[in-house]
A and B are shown apart, each in its own frame.
Chain A
Amino acid sequence: MIARTLIKPSFYQDSVALMGVARELRGGAGIQEAAALMGTPANRELMEQAGLLTAEAAAAGPNDLVIVVRADSEAAAAAALARAESLLTERRRRVEAAGRRLPRTLDSARRQLDGANLALISVPGPFAAAEARKALARGLHVMLFSDNVALEDEVALKRLAVERGLLLMGPDCGTAYLNGVPLGFANAVPRGRVGIVAASGTGLQQVVSLLAAGGEGVSQAIGVGGRDMSESVGAAMTLAALDALGGDPDTALVVVVGKPPAPAVRGRVEARLRALGKPAVVAMLGRAVSPGRDGLLHTVTSLEDAAAAALAVLAGREYRARAFADPDDAGRRIGERQRALAAGQTSVRGLFAGGTLAYEALLILEPLLGAVGGNLSRSAASPHRIVDLGEDEFTRGRAHPMLDATLRAEEIARAGKETAVAVLLVDVVLGHGAASDPAGDIAPALEAARAHARANGRGLAVVASVVGTAGDPQGLGRQVARLESAGAWVLPSNAQAARAAAAIAGGAGVTQKLLGGESR
């Protein structure tokens, strides 16, 4: 058993790229374990715990890249390190071949890219506020992807941004569209007439995907982060974005997506919406929100309804919410799956990559099934669970579920063995930046779980939605087909998928509620 180290001094790579390298190395012949990390004290501790802290690794500094492999043989170790070297330098070689060098700071980047106007910042949380402040001070708009930014930093940053007339999208802004440019994790959608202000990335992704499916597109989509409409932040970015969209001739209708604003803030936001002079659709994901309409202002309670209402208003139609796009088909499929269940299979297990999608599912399930547990609610004693696998507790030292399905596949297998689970509910998110085959990454686990249940006399329903468009690199049609071939029932939206899951697990009473007449 051999441990070999490669140190690249003063060599910089982000954590996601490095996790990708480590994963590649682990797949090599004769390799038992591999690590690719910057030589920070915290990472050296991780290496020590994994039994990978060689003497060279221990001596490395925070600016040094450390690769350690544990292998069966010298040859295997050498091959792995050579592979690491080539993986790491590939991009650098391309850049250097062009006669340049990747900049180390924001300032040297500005010298190299004339007219830069947006900083997309995704550094670790503790450093994010300082980078964002530097960018704003230099007159750059900011998309702050990083999370774990302190609330008081967010308040100060947004105050500075508003002072300077700049965007501070975030913190924790995963998706945005500016002038048709998709930023962060974003789906391929056409330009169009709908301007969006979103407190959530995957929420935005669901809305724009459904708009695109309806033949409409996005003028601008501005992320404001999940805390913008809190009392402390005072909806600073939401208000600024609404002003900008209100005055934008290319925006015919505004959609706002988020959780219900703090009472102190709600009035200001509503006033700004009314003052837009354009129709506005507000999707507030929360308990005790009532849908309705007040002049140009439409309130809806799901992401799907936001897109549908926007499409209807732009087409001059009335919008009526329904439980399912195709109630007859839904009823039939629900019945089939209910009949396949064994006695005692009564619960829903939701395993989500998108946090807002998980939360929307939770809100839909609760009125139908009663208390729902999982890591987004405080109901501990409930058979039903909605789990957001993107939460911190699951992503320490591992890639986010939108990028790496390993953990979700494990959870699917685990859930499939529980005798009380009637239905697995999953989301699959496509788009730029997401994994190259998210459906394919979980399909084997889904098939195996269903097969295992079958072998033990249980039916196990799998219900899914795919957030994406035909134009996405993964291809919406291909991803849907892959899930269906694994036995999943794929519905057109996260909300419909949640309702379908509730109906299958909840029995005739729930089904009747959903299919008998209008929903809600």
Chain B
Amino acid sequence: MDEIRDLFGREIRVINVGLESFALVLESLGVPVIHVQWVPPAGGDPARARLLALLDDEDGA
């Protein structure tokens, strides 16, 4: 798994989505981290969340 091995040895830079305490710990350790103020997409509406997933075609860049 080349990409996984690539990660070993790189600086880990974290996007934290969910419990803020994880981001606070990483911050206190000096790890680059940004906390996302996550709320359920589409206000929690499952049908709309499915539409959003259908329309999400990001690929990497």
Contact = CB atoms under 8 A, between A and B. Distances in A.
B36 A106 contact: yes
B8 A119 contact: no
Contacts of A109: 15, 17, 34, 36
A91 B24 CA distance: 10
A113 B58 CA distance: 18
Nearest to B32: A113
B33 to A, nearest CB: 8
A184 interface: yes
Given A102-B36, A243-B1, A115 B13 contact: yes
Nearest to A127: B40
A434 to B, nearest CB: 10
B58 A117 contact: no
A312 to B, nearest CB: 25
A314 B58 CA distance: 45
Contacts, number: 178
Nearest to B28: A432
B34 A113 contact: yes
A49 interface: no
Contacts of B46: 126
A364 interface: no
B1 A165 contact: yes
A117 B13 contact: yes
A205 B7 CA distance: 22
B15 A14 contact: no
Interface string B15-33: 1111111100110010111
B4 interface: yes
A104 interface: yes
B4 A14 contact: no
A501 to B, nearest CB: 32
Interface stretch (A139-147, A331-339, A420-428): A139-147
B1 A244 contact: yes
Residue among A63, A105, A181, A219 having the largest count of chain B Cβ atoms under 10 Å: A181
A interface secondary structure, majority: mixed
Contacts of A241: 1, 4
A131 B20 CA distance: 16
Contacts of B32: 113, 116
Contact of A121 (B4, B7, B18, B49): B18
A40 B46 CA distance: 13
Interface residues of A, number: 70
Nearest to A117: B13
A194 interface: no
A137 B53 CA distance: 11
Contacts of B44: 40-41, 62
Contact of A118 (B9, B14, B25, B43): B14
B11 to A, nearest CB: 8
Contacts of A40: 40, 44
Interface string A46-87: 000000000000000111000000000000000000000000
A130 B44 CA distance: 12
B40 to A, nearest CB: 6
B5 A247 contact: yes
A240 B4 contact: yes
A122 B26 CA distance: 15
Contacts of B53: 130, 133
B47 interface: no
A131 to B, nearest CB: 6
Given A164-B3, A184-B22, A110 B15 contact: yes
Given A116-B15, A117-B10, 5 more contacts: A109-B36, A123-B38, A127-B49, A139-B60, A181-B31
11 contacts: A106-B36, A113-B33, A115-B13, A117-B12, A118-B7, A119-B16, A127-B40, A133-B53, A240-B1, A241-B4, A432-B25
Q: Which 9 A-B pairs have the closest CB atoms?
A: A122-B18, A165-B3, A12-B37, A244-B4, A139-B60, A113-B34, A123-B18, A122-B19, A62-B43
